[in-house]
């Protein structure tokens, strides 16, 4: 068994929240995170994508570039199809199951100011999904929604109203859902506080497979196989 080498970059997968819609140039969260932790980041965010579209890109990319699998990953997926919680959990599980390490973070879904106010059906689905992801991924899950809500400015009346409605504060938003430069800086800072989970832990390949099997639920059986050693692996990437 071989220890993975120390990775040189972090892959950030997601939709418009990762892309940085609403920010000025260079103020998307991956760019700010790179400056904060002094690691390269690769912004793999595409606006408008669902968790399934992100998953499909993820599989295609690592199938073509298997050497990149050793590098840590941040997944922020599901905002554009959050009512489909089961699908989102399955898509994220599929992505995590491809990694031969546990150096990853799963970021929770935020709620919109206009559509997902406290106690309506959209809000309840987002809170339920985030709770489920926290249960599945434990310390590898980041509850960015609750963190952003807590970052309201008490001197701004609208922020105080937003806080009472359990919404991300207006002072951090560029529109009803996307963040502004300050909002993305808050995200990058919060993720940086969890950076130790992205750093190489010196685990062996076999240990990584055992760890990854914890997250195997929901992965399509067509891409899984069990080796002679009894370890479940992803046949798309681990045929050799």
Over the stretch 142-163, which tens digit does the pLDDT of each residue have?
999 999 999 999 999 999 999 9
Query: Is 119 a residue whose pLDDT tops 60?
Result: yes
222 pLDDT more than 60: no
pLDDT in tens, 183-206: 999 999 999 999 988 886 544 444
Question: Cβ distance 27 to 20 under 8 Å?
Answer: yes
Q: Is 174 exposed, middle or buried (0-12, 13-18, 19+ CB in 10 A)?
A: middle
- Read off φ and ψ for residue 3, nearest 5 degrees: -75, 140
Residue 16, by phi and psi: left (phi above 0), alpha (psi -120 to 50) or beta?
alpha
Mean pLDDT of the chain, nearest integer:
85
Residue 23 has pLDDT above 50, yes or no: yes
Q: Where does the pLDDT of residue 118 fall: very low under 50, low under 70, confident under 90, or very high at 90 and above?
A: confident
Q: How far apart are CA 207 and CA 48, in angstroms?
A: 36
Q: How confident is the model at residue 212 (pLDDT cuts 50, 70, 90)?
A: very low
What are the pLDDT digits (tens) for 87-108? 999 999 999 999 999 999 999 9
**Cα distance between residue 119 and residue 143, in whole Å:** 18
Work out the pLDDT band at 114, boundaries 50, 70, 90. confident
- Give the predicted TM-score (pTM) of the model: 0.82
| Distance, CA of 192 to CA of 197 (rounded, Å) | 10
Query: Highest-confidence range of 184-193, 206-215, 218-227, by mean pLDDT?
Result: 184-193
Residue 130, helix vs strand vs coil:
helix
> Per mean pLDDT, which range of 60-64, 75-79, 116-120, 176-180 is the poorest?
116-120
Range of lowest pLDDT (27-36, 165-174, 197-206): 197-206
Whether residue 5 is predicted with pLDDT greater than 80 in this model: the reply is no
Helical ranges in the chain per DSSP H: 16-19, 29-37, 51-64, 85-97, 121-137, 144-150, 157-164, 181-192, 205-213
């Amino acid at each position: 068994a071989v220890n993975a080498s120390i990775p040189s970059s972090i892959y950030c997968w997601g939709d418009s929240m990762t892309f940085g819609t609403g920010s000025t140039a260079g103020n998307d969260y991956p760019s700010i995170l790179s400056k904060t932790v002094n690691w390269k980041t690769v912004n793999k965010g595409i606006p408008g994508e669902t968790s399934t579209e992100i998953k499909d890109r993820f599989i295609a990319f690592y199938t073509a570039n298997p050497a990149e699998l050793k590098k840590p990953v941040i997944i922020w997926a599901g905002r554009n199809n959050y009512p489909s919680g089961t699908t989102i959990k399955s898509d994220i599980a599929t992505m995590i199951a491809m990694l031969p390490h546990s150096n990853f973070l799963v970021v929770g879904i935020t709620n919109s100011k206009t559509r997902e106010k406290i106690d309506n059906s959209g809000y309840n689905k987002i809170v339920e999904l985030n709770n489920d992801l926290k249960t599945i991924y434990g310390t590898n899950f980041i509850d960015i929604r609750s963190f952003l809500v807590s970052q309201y400015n008490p001197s701004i009346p609208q922020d105080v109203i937003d806080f009472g409605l359990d919404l991300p504060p207006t002072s951090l938003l560029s529109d009803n859902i996307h963040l502004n430069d300050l909002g993305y800086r808050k995200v990058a800072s919060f993720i940086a506080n969890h950076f130790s989970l992205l750093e190489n832990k010196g685990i062996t390949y076999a240990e990584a497979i055992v760890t990854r099997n914890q997250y195997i639920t929901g992965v399509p059986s067509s891409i899984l196989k069990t080796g002679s050693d009894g370890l479940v692996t992803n046949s798309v990437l681990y045929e050799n």
